[in-house]
Structure 1
Amino acid sequence: MTGLRERKKAQTRKALADAALRMFLERGYDAVSVKEIAEAADVSVPTLFAHFPDGKESLVFDMDADREQQLISAVRDRAAGKTLLEGLREAFGALPRPGTEGQMHDFRQLIQDTPALSSYFRNMWQRHEDALAGVIAEDLGLDPGDVAVTALAHFIFGGLDVARRSDDPVAALTRIFGLLETGWGAMLEQPRRA
């Protein structure tokens, strides 16, 4: 159970991230100042930077560190008898879903239309992919630079991106992980249709 101090920190962090995202979606990223975000969350600017030292971009991706830790934990702490891919599939499937499809579309559009956010997202994505490759290598006793480990982490993240854009992300993720587990061979061996 978390203490009062940790709960208050989490509440402040959430209030800042929620206010920032709401304002960014309403007015655009560049039209919103750090001061306005702090005021909307009823905190000081130094408090904002204490929670988000990387500035405005990190407010949009407030779950960044938590998500990376969840991925690492999905590999390291998976139940006995579960494969690495089963653990990751369950972890990805358990991640909280954003609001409505419209909200997700607006969020993706904000990132795509804002160079600072696009750059931050690409760097964050690459960092997560590298962390996943590292923990997979550790789990399998392979060199972290092994091309198979790097490719697997890349395919997993690519699959996650494809699943997010699907009408049924959970079903898409299940199918994609099925392909990762068994390979594309059987699917690709189907005869060509006339």
Structure 2
Amino acid sequence: MGLRERKKRQTRRAIAEAALRLFAERGYEETTIADIAGAADVSPRTFFSYFPSKEDVVFAEIDERLTEVREGIDRRPADETPLESMRRIVLEMIEAIAAEHGEYGAIQVRLVLERPSLQARALKRMNDTEQYVVERLTELCPGIDEIDAVVIAGALVGGMKAVITHCRAHGYAPEATRRAVDRALAIVEHGLGSVPALTHRATE
């Protein structure tokens, strides 16, 4: 990543951090975009160059992690099974999530649970991610049954969403979150291991 991209990511994160902090301190409705921009030391115009709306800033971190998931799938090593790829990618994503916004995780979850407009945005992100996983599984596992692909994507994305939401809502520390995710992955993998296409190595 070049200097320009690093600075853009830093600015994006600064805006998101300021927004979550203000939402926690003042309340979501009471916080304006001008307030967020001022707290992040940027102009309202700069805010809109990174986020279309106040609702979208709530998902800044999630969107960044979803991008990393897509990039991780694209970088699958040749000797890795699809199931091993999924585990690696999910663990990398959770490691990043667990390390960021720790003190604001609960407010993030509460905002989504309380506001239909945020729930709709969250659902769209979930659906888009599941569809992407389905498409990539179809590429990684030629001939995989379409129902298998849909179920696998739903189990992975839905399972991780459920455990992260629980951990954040209850204020789990990063290490406790990692343990919970590892346990959830073990449960999901137990079922997914019955799908032959997921355990086939590309080099075989």
Structure 1 residues 177 and 138, CA gap change in structure 2 (3 angstroms): same
Query: Is contact 1:159-1:176 (8 Å) kept?
Result: no
Amino acid at match of 1:128: T
Q: Which residue of 1 aligns with 2:106?
A: 105
Q: CA deviation at 1:101?
A: 7.0
**Is residue 46 of structure 2 the alignment partner of residue 47 of structure 1?**
yes
Q: Which residue of 1 aligns with 2:24?
A: 25
Q: Distance in 2 between matches of 1:37 and 1:114?
A: 19
Q: CA deviation at 1:48?
A: 0.6
Aligned residue-pair number: 181
- Aligned identity (percent) is 28
For the aligned residue pairs, the C-alpha RMSD in angstroms reads 2.6
Q: Distance in 1 between matches of 2:136 and 2:23?
A: 35
**Is residue 188 of structure 2 the alignment partner of residue 169 of structure 1?**
no
Q: Distance in 1 between matches of 2:48 and 2:100?
A: 26
1:147-174 CA-partner distances (Å, limit 9, x unpaired): 2211211111122124323653233133
Query: Is contact 1:75-1:87 (8 Å) kept?
Result: yes
Amino acid at match of 1:148: D
1:21-73 CA-partner distances (Å, limit 9, x unpaired): 11112222211111111111111111111111x21121111134433332233
Amino acid at match of 1:47: T
Unaligned runs of at least 5 residues, structure 2: 168-175, 196-204
Amino acid at match of 1:150: V
Q: Which residue of 2 aligns with 1:82?
A: 80
Q: Distance in 2 between matches of 1:115 and 1:46?
A: 26
Aligned to 1:63, the other structure's residue is in SS state helix
Correspondences of 1:151-190 after superposition (within 5 Å): 151-164=151-164, 165=166, 168-183=179-194
Which of 90, 93, 103 in structure 2 is aligned with 1:92? 90
Q: Which residue of 2 aligns with 1:190?
A: none
Structure 1 residues 8 and 182, CA gap change in structure 2 (3 angstroms): closer
Amino acid at match of 1:80: A
Query: Is contact 2:163-2:181 (8 Å) kept?
Result: yes
Unaligned runs of at least 5 residues, structure 1: 185-194
Q: Which residue of 2 aligns with 1:34?
A: 33
Q: Distance in 1 between matches of 2:71 and 2:15?
A: 27
Q: Which has the higher contact order (CA 8 A, sep 6+)?
A: 2
1:105-136 CA-partner distances (Å, limit 9, x unpaired): 33211211122222211111111111111111
Q: Distance in 2 between matches of 1:141 and 1:49?
A: 42
Question: What is the TM-score normalised by the length of structure 1?
Answer: 0.80
Q: Which residue of 2 aligns with 1:138?
A: 139
Amino acid at match of 1:21: L
Q: Distance in 2 between matches of 1:10 and 1:64?
A: 14
Q: Distance in 1 between matches of 2:79 and 2:189?
A: 17
**Is residue 21 of structure 2 the alignment partner of residue 16 of structure 1?**
no
Structure 1 residues 100 and 172, CA gap change in structure 2 (3 angstroms): farther
